Amino acid sequence: MKIGFLIVDMQEVFLQDQKEKLNVERACEHINYVADLLRSKNHCVIHIQDVEGTKDLNSEVLNIISEIKVEQNDIRITKEESNAFWNTDLEQILLKHEIGLVIVAGFAAEHCVLFTYNGAKERGFKTVILQNGIISTYSDAISITYRDRNIISYPAIEYIVR
């Protein structure tokens, strides 16, 4: 089974002034570890960037934060809606790569992460959220997001891809 790892909206525009407050470093450690593990086994790492309302797509604030490793073979897509599947070619990319499991991580737990998780489930993908790999500006949003959804830890991913 191939895995698609969706790293959602880990961008300067959302996180540049809040990295310490939101514990971005911890989430990035988990995200980078899982991304490296999946890359080493030829699974897909996909960076999703929100460009909603932006006129200058080359603006530096749209860049992925430096704490997230982006490799040459990673896939990048842009979106203008909270759900990364809406009006993008994400579903076609996952189908082309024969993805059976989608892991979602990134920012914001209660918005784009959750909407993308729901979008993947609605399209029939087995979908999970990376434990300790999501961020929110609301203190209770992460626990609420985890409460009723499938989550996966990095040791479980290690076991699956060994």
What are the angstrom distances between the C-alpha of 98 and each of 4, 92, 154?
9, 10, 22
Residue 61 confidence (pLDDT):
63
The pair of structure tokens assigned to 139 is 């203190």
Residue 47 confidence (pLDDT):
98
For each successive 10 residues of the chain (162 residues), what is the average pLDDT? 96 86 92 98 97 69 90 96 96 97 97 97 98 94 93 96 91
Non-local CB neighbours of 112 within 8 Å, separated by 6+ positions: 8, 9, 48, 50, 82, 83, 84, 106
Beta strand pairing call for 99-107 and 75-79: unpaired
* pTM reported for the whole predicted model: 0.94
Residue 37 confidence (pLDDT):
98
Domains and CATH numbers, the chain: 2-161 (3.40.50.850)
